[in-house]
Amino acid sequence: MKKQVGIFVPFILVAIAISSCSAPRSILTSGKVLPKNQVRFGKNTTFNISSAPIERSIKGSMDLAENVSSSDTVIYNNQIANLNSAVMAYCLDPIGYNTETFFRYGLGHRLDMGFRNTGGANAFDMMYQFMGSNKNCNESGPSTTLRVTGGFYGSIGAQYSWHNYRFVNFYKFDKIQKLFGLEMERKDITIPLVFSKSFGPEERVGCFSFGLVYSHSFINYKISPKNIYSEEIIANVPRELLLPVSGKTQFDAYGTFINIKLGKKYVFFNFSLAAYYQNYGRYPMLGGSNVLLKGISIVPSYGMQFNIFPKTKKKVDEGIQI
């Protein structure tokens, strides 16, 4: 008696919504980099909504919604092929949210650098400011025009991020990874171009930012099933275990964003919205099939940031003491 595959995709999609692991793609910086020795740190919540995994996951859920059982032997068919495509789409651009922590430091010479951790992904970046003043708000003089109108700033940077993909540790969902024996590594190089308009002198009470983003991703994956067998072609001939599939690929993504920062001097609230288009390319799957993935990703985020300013040296009056 043949048992059906023990996978319930709608339940799995709930797990996807609970947590996910994606490359850091929210843009919460402004066109003004941190002045020398200034420190900024904070915490954000970032959402990732992608059209590619939604389409593939819905198709997989419709196919497997009624197949709830456990089996040591899985026979490859269209249902498993659709689920394989859904899992790959989710790995490339997961649907869900992450909590992100970040730290930035002003290096001087219009440069700053930062680190952030988003779920299981890590990223280092550097930004260079090519437009506008690079003073902190404590150094803005009371008689300057910037005190009334605020300045306009521009910067460009580069970010390198990496992570080894792992499914969330959630009941039944980790079985999908074991079923396909899926391993994936992803590395991204991201180049943001950011412009911002200050609210008050030197972003003392916040700013409005906007810009463009380009990223290039490197994907290395392997699918090594342990118990997925080919369909029976000839009667009484044993089914064969499907051969492993591996591949390396690259793809580009193009995006735009807006964000707003509101607060005062030491504490700010951030709100950001980014949108990306990417053609992920074609990926070989089990059973000699392949899947072509492309789509749009929407990345809203919000959070808080805190500033620590360097100590200012007090000027000593040079007078003659009597």
Average pLDDT over residues 23-43: 91
Beta-strand ranges (E) seen in the chain are 39-50, 74-75, 96-108, 111-118, 121-131, 152-165, 182-198, 206-223, 228-229, 245-264, 267-284, 290-308
| Structure-token match 């910086």, residue found | 29
Q: Is pLDDT at 167 greater than 70 in this prediction?
A: no
Report pLDDT digits (tens) over 205-249.
999 999 999 999 999 999 988 888 887 665 665 678 888 999 999
Q: Using alpha carbons only, give the angle 56, 60, 62 rounded to the nearest 5 degrees.
A: 120
Looking at the domain that runs over 9-308, which CATH code has it been given?
2.40.128
Q: Is pLDDT at 164 greater than 70 in this prediction?
A: yes
| Structure-token match 């920062």, residue found | 261
Higher pLDDT, 46 or 234: 46
Report pLDDT digits (tens) over 258-289.
999 999 889 999 999 999 999 998 999 888 88
This prediction's pTM: 0.81
Residue 197's pLDDT is what?
95
Q: Is pLDDT at 178 greater than 60 in this prediction?
A: yes
